[in-house]
Amino acid sequence: MSRPDPGTPAESKHRNGVGPGSKAVLLLNPAAGRRKWLRPAQISRARKELESAGMAVEIQEVGESREGSAVAREAVEQGVDLIIVCGGDGTINHVVQGMVPSHVPLAILPGGTANMLARELGLPLTIEKAARVIPTSIPRRISLGSAAGRLFISLAGIGFDARVVRNLNKRWKDSFGIGSYLMEGFVQLFFGPPNPFFSICANGKGQQVTYLCVSKSQHYGHVRVLPEADLFSDRFHVYAFQSQSRWRYLHYGGAILAGRKSSLPAFIEFPTQRIACEPISPEEGEIYFQVDGELAGRLPCSIEIVPDALTILAPRQQEHPLAGSDS
């Protein structure tokens, strides 16, 4: 069966949300996040919440590979009313690849390590409570980013954080969660090679940087660091480092967390809809990029806005979501 055209009457019902009688598929990554032994009971309670609202819910397990994309694409082709993802930002990223350009809504149950998108949407950070808000949430059409053809919702990072993602020890991640990224970041910062320069070009201006973050999300991991970014806008907010100094990287990290970016030396930020990134010379070594916490490739690449790409369910009270809540 071919993928539904987003403009056909068959998909018009998705523009008005979901409710009683809706058919949903819940894509579960059982390997995502920590305390995995709790997941079966959490999913059972979440399913009861959704069924009590009159929704029919089918559960399918997906792995950490691109399998989620194929399963999501099949669900769209079969006419499902809603796709729910329980997993981390990487799992969500894979699923989204199979949903675009349909108007089938995406809903999130936070089951990962950082749960960046759930925080951005202002969702409760427990699976059962997040399920409870799905029936009253509203569909909102958003743009996505594309990095060398790989779609992303929240952000793309080039350089240092992609190297952290590439070298991250999975056992550390399972044991220490978000702390594993801090540990690997420390290892890469003080024992890894220097961060090489690469060139970027955006808004008609070229510059050389050693790290780049291209974001539609105010959150980076657990922390809200970019109040200028907006998930529901059609532009990125970009920031970049122009230094190789390891100590200055520490300074950057502390200042960004403290909300003092404007005082940083060799630091730039700006809005854009497209940015091209290229290595300067082969001697600098391979420079990688990540999207939504998933290693996605290496330079060169172009990153651009894909407008009107995805329908996402957002809590009704979150007109401009800022942060998730455990309550």
For 42-93, the pLDDT digits (tens) are 999 999 999 999 999 999 999 766 689 999 999 999 999 999 999 999 999 9
Q: Kindly report, residue by residue over 33-46, the tens digit of the pLDDT.
A: 777 778 899 999 99
**H/E segment holding residue 278:** strand 274-279
* φ and ψ at residue 87, rounded to 5 degrees: 175, -165
Domains in the chain with CATH codes: 9-142+308-314 (3.40.50.10330), 150-307 (2.60.200.40)
Evaluate if pTM is beyond 0.85: yes
Cα-Cα-Cα-Cα torsion 111, 115, 119, 122, nearest 10 degrees, comes to -20
Measured from the Cβ of residue 160, the count of other Cβ atoms closer than 10 Å reads 23
Q: Which residue has the higher pLDDT, 168 or 126?
A: 126
- What is the structure's pLDDT at 320? 42
**Span of 13-17, 62-66, 195-199, 313-317 with lowest mean pLDDT:** 13-17
Q: Kindly report, residue by residue over 102-148, the tens digit of the pLDDT.
A: 999 999 999 988 899 999 999 999 999 999 999 999 999 999 999 99
Q: How far apart are CA 204 and CA 267, in angstroms?
A: 18
Q: Kindly report, residue by residue over 174-228, the tens digit of the pLDDT.
A: 666 677 777 888 888 889 899 999 999 999 999 999 999 999 999 988 888 899 9
DSSP states of 62-86 as a string? --SSTHHHHHHHHHHHTT-SEEEEE
**By the 8 A CB rule, do 51 and 10 touch?**
no
DSSP states of 207-276 as a string? EEESEEEEES-SEETTEE--TT--TTSSSEEEEEE----HHHHHHHHHHHHTT-GGG-TTEEEEEESEEE
